[in-house]
Structures are given as C-alpha cells and as structure tokens.
Amino acid sequence: MEKFTKIVSTAVPVPGENIDTDQIIPARFLKATTRDGFGENLFRDWRFNRDGSPVEGFPLNDSRYAGSILVGGKNFGCGSSREHAAWALGDYGFRAIVSSFFADIFRNNALNNGILPVQVSQEFLNAIFMEIHNNSSVEILIDLVDQLISIPENDMAEEFEINPYKKKCLLNGYTDFEFLMNQKDRIAEYEKTSIYSFV
C-alpha cells in the first residue's frame, strides 16, 4: 500500500448528503474479485446516461475539476458494506475523501485501502465547497502527520481525528497483515517470555 503522509491537490466536489455505496459503485459491477478496473464505473449511474454518453454537469465529467481529493456531502459512504466502493474511489485516483460525516464501515474500508477519510465540521465543509465553487483550481493540503486539513492560500485550517493505529498504517504504507509481519520480531520475543508460551 502506498504511504500517505501529506498531499496537496485540487479537489472534485460531489455535493449532496447520504451518498451511498450503491451510488459510488452500482451492485451490477461487483462480480470482479480484484481491485482493478472499478474506477471506470465510479458513480456510473450519475456519470453516464443509459446510452453511455457522459452526463453533462456531473463533477467527474467537468474539466474544471480534477485531483486526488474528493469532497462529498454529509454521511458519505452510507448503505451496504461493500469494500468495492473504496476500491472504485482508489482506482479512480482519489487518495482522500473529505466530508462532515462518514459511515463507519465505509471509513474502515477506505482506511484499509489506503484512502484517508477526513471528517471536518459542517461549517468547514461548507467553506471548502464555496472555495472550490469560486476557484476550481484552489489547492487543499491534507497533512496526516499533524492531522490538519487546510486551504493555504486563504488561511483556512481545521484539525481532524484518526485512529492512531490506522494513522501508523497509512504513514508506513502497511496493510493490517503487513503491520503484523513488521512486528514479527517483537511478537517472537514476547512469545519467549510469555507465561502462555508453548515454545
């Protein structure tokens, strides 16, 4: 998994509350068992008409918007627990999602797939949407080390919370399995001294 320490990027705004996982990646695209190729169907029913033509005005089809940060409305990732939603966002190129609230299962799926969910206050989220509306090329800085999201050119900033273990995994580029493997020497040493050791 790619390390995440700090990113500076423009953002794609997808406003609207309660964006669920079926809207992020419709159920009919869940047959694949690998993570590749899901990005092309991200927000499929919002991005494309039935004839396959792009929906005019949808942010992912708007040339003004680009970048590795998606800014979504409140309660992003609600609905079913499909991990494919995180796969689709990551495959499309997003490294961070900003919202004022995330569904718990989506939050964990995102973190497990190297995507940072940044939860901010509703006021700060509204301000970010306004900044992007006024200037689509405005850059957002997300600093995982200091747990700070900001728009440097306008002196806007807010701290965000993250589980300490998941923060360590993202900073080091570890999956859960890789984290455990990285601790194997400490685990082996503990087993030697543990009263429950069978060695």
Residue 114 sits at the vertex; the CA angle it makes with 108 and 118, to the nearest 5 degrees, is 65
pLDDT score of 11: 98
Query: How far, CA to CA in Å, does 172 sit from each of 1, 30, 166?
Result: 9, 29, 10
What is the predicted pLDDT for the residue at 183?
Answer: 62
The pLDDT value given to residue 189: 63
Task: Kindly give the confidence (pLDDT) of every residue in the chain, 199 residues in length, as a single tens digit, with 9 standing for 90 and above.
Answer: 899 999 999 999 999 999 999 999 999 888 766 777 899 999 999 999 999 999 999 999 999 999 999 999 999 999 988 899 999 999 999 999 999 999 999 999 999 999 999 999 999 999 999 999 999 999 999 999 999 999 999 999 999 999 999 999 999 998 766 656 666 666 556 566 765 555 5
pLDDT at 178: 66
- No. of H helices and E strands in the chain? 8, 8
Q: Which domains does the chain have, with CATH numbers?
A: 6-163 (3.20.19.10)
Non-local CB neighbours of 12 within 8 Å, separated by 6+ positions: 59, 60, 65, 66, 67, 69, 70, 71, 94
The confidence score (pLDDT) of residue 30 equals 82
Q: 106 Cβ partners below 8 Å, 6+ apart?
A: 21, 76, 77, 78, 81, 85, 86, 117
